[in-house]
Amino acid sequence: MFSPELALLAGIAIFSAYCVSFMRDTKAPCPLVHPAFPYSAICFSWTLYAHIPRYYYKWAAKYGPIFSIKLGLQRLIVLSSAEVADELLVTRSKLYSSRPDMHVASGLVSDGQRMVLMSNNREFKIARRTVSGILSPAPSRKWRNMQDFESRVILQDLLDHADTSITETFTEGPNGKVPERHWYSIFRRYTTSVVMLLSYGMRMNRILDNPDLHKVYEVMSNFAHVSEPGSFLADAFPILRWLPDILAPWRKEGRRMHETEMGLWGKLLKECNEDVTKGAARTGFVPDYLRARAEAGLGELPGNGATDDGGWMRDKFLAYTAASVLEAGSDTSSTAMFIFILFMLNNPNALRRAQEEMDRVVGLDRMPGWEDEDRLPWLVACIKETLRIRPPIASVPHAVEEEDVYKGYFIPTGSIVVGNIHGIHMDPARYPDPFAFNPERFYNADKGLQCNSGPDSQNRSNYMFGWGRRFCLGKHVAEASIFIVLSRLVWGIDFYAPVDTHTGNPILPDALDEMVYWDGAVSPPKIFPVGFKPRSEKHAEVIRRSYEDLQEEWRATGLPVDVR
């Protein structure tokens, strides 16, 4: 996204070098100013702009729980202690619940209809309320049936996959594309299928030769790319938005991407509406919504936004709200799973202890279920520690709707306020010896994964789901997925890294090395080879039988069987 703006770079680089500095304010004494800030020079190169989030937690260690950076005309305030983030993003959430103005990603690419990027306006509140209706604690349990089914598919897929990721050479595709035969694709199919089921009542029943799945990944990957901070100068310098088309290549590109997205999200909605009109028994957020809308006499409702009367979402708004659920729920959850596998391989004693606990509590004859969660405290502690030490999302931007003063710091309207999740998780006051992978800090025989991850601001084991009025809507679905998939993995599958034939050591990325992870809002580890085999013949038999039975269960629900 950098190249279309090259022509403008030279002049703007000089301007930005001037602009990139720690915040200077006139209204209040501003201890946020660090004139000696050594990183200003780095920011001279605009290409490094997008990489800034990876430095937040390091800067927090140096500059404290609240500091600010000025990037172009944007002011970024980074919150790196749980107390400060809770105070501003939760207690004062009335002021801090908007999103930064992303001209290209939100305005051009999403036509202003993408919920996750919306400011705290009427449309956003309508979307959030509607989506809560399917994702809050009670309704989210309804999807557990599908999470159970899809997690059984993962186990069979991993057995079939075996050493493929070790014996074949895989390289990461463009835009972080995952090769479809790599083991990452098995977990990604699961998470994408779960969100497709709950959004549209559709499943992704195959990985290979599945253009629909690839289309979803392509659109999600493009969107992730355009919504990264620093992708477009027009986001940071609003004056550029006035340039004519010939000098504003991002405009054409943004509109083109909007057409591509509507080719997917708009098409899914249209097909769903046709099914619902024909009386198909499809269930999920969108089909259920369309049925309710039709019953209210609004079968046809093209256009953007919501109706004045009743607040019914029009078609494009509905399509993008479902897209937001798909985008927010897919790669986030699979990233948590990849990170768990990486840390467990780096900490074999912790993994062994989790397997021993599993054998004691669950045994060989059946897979674990959610009812076992409270009886698997060591596994739960390992998952919690993984999510603490390397959250799938490192930071989230909110925007300030009205100026505010906090402990003498003046916070102007429009500032971007970043909840530095990774920084908070590395706060030694909260988590002593934060760089040590130590599940003991969460080991508690009485509590399951569901405990303490929010939104209760006083008592949280992690901050990966964000804060306040923008707190992740999919927390319950995500935690249920993470537990069911990882518990079944630990129960039934031995996973291992390839071994260096000369040294006899495992070939494994260092889970604590920053360079091992992709940049971006969601940052999974770069692909790495892992092999999978059943922990015993008995485990293999249970997995195979469960997979065969499952095909009948899919038929009974009217959903397509797995195709391999």
Residue numbering of the annotated binding site for heme: 472
Token digits of residue 23: 């915040």
Question: Where does 91-143 have alpha helices with state H?
Answer: 122-135, 137-141
User: Radius of gyration (Cα) for the chain, nearest Å?
Assistant: 24
Shortest Å distance, C-beta 517 to ligand HEM? 14
Contact 81, 65 (CB under 8 A): yes
Nearer to ligand HEM, 128 or 161 (CB): 128
Query: Pick from 254, 284, 329, 492: which binds ligand HEM (CB under 6 A)?
Result: 329
Query: Pick from 204, 336, 411, 530: which binds ligand HEM (CB under 6 A)?
Result: 336
The H or E element that residue 430 is part of is none
Contact 410, 24 (CB under 8 A): no
- Residues counted in the chain: 564
Token digits of residue 546: 């469960």
CB atoms within 10 A of CB 480: 24
Nearer to ligand HEM, 32 or 486 (CB): 486
Shortest Å distance, C-beta 124 to ligand HEM? 7
Sign of the CA dihedral with 540 first, then 486, 324, and 313 last: positive
Q: DSSP of 23-69, one letter per residue?
A: ---SSS--TT--TT-TTHHHHHSGGGGGGGGGGHHHHHHHH-SEEEE
- 3-state DSSP percent of the chain in helix, strand and coil, to 5: 55, 10, 35
Query: Pick from 333, 386, 453, 461: which binds ligand HEM (CB under 6 A)?
Result: 333
Does 467 participate in binding ligand HEM (rule CB under 6 A)?
Answer: yes
Does 453 participate in binding ligand HEM (rule CB under 6 A)?
Answer: no
Rounded to whole angstroms, the maximal C-alpha distance in the chain is: 72
CA–CA gap between residue 527 and residue 165 (Å, rounded): 10
Contact range with ligand HEM by CB under 6 A, out of 254-262, 279-287, 471-479, 505-513: 471-479
Query: Pick from 229, 377, 474, 509: which binds ligand HEM (CB under 6 A)?
Result: 474
The binding track of 277-316 with respect to ligand HEM, each residue x by CB under 6 A or -, is: ----------------------------------------
Query: Pick from 79, 393, 394, 416: which binds ligand HEM (CB under 6 A)?
Result: 393
Contact range with ligand HEM by CB under 6 A, out of 346-354, 390-398, 451-459, 532-540: 390-398
Query: Pick from 146, 226, 313, 325: which binds ligand HEM (CB under 6 A)?
Result: 325
What single-letter amino acid sits at 344?
A: M
Does 478 participate in binding ligand HEM (rule CB under 6 A)?
Answer: yes
Shortest Å distance, C-beta 197 to ligand HEM? 10
The binding track of 113-132 with respect to ligand HEM, each residue x by CB under 6 A or -, is: --xx-----------x--x-
Shortest Å distance, C-beta 438 to ligand HEM? 21
CA–CA gap between residue 59 and residue 242 (Å, rounded): 35
In the window 500-559, what residues touch ligand HEM (CB under 6 A)?
none
- CB environment 243-264: b (16+ within 10 A), e (fewer): eeeeebbbbebbeebbebbbeb
Query: Pick from 477, 486, 490, 530: which binds ligand HEM (CB under 6 A)?
Result: 477
Beta strands in 263-401 (DSSP E): 395-399
Q: Which residues of this chain interact with ligand HEM, rule CB under 6 A?
A: 115-116, 128, 131, 135, 195, 324-325, 328-329, 332-333, 336, 392-393, 396, 398, 419, 464-467, 470-474, 477-478
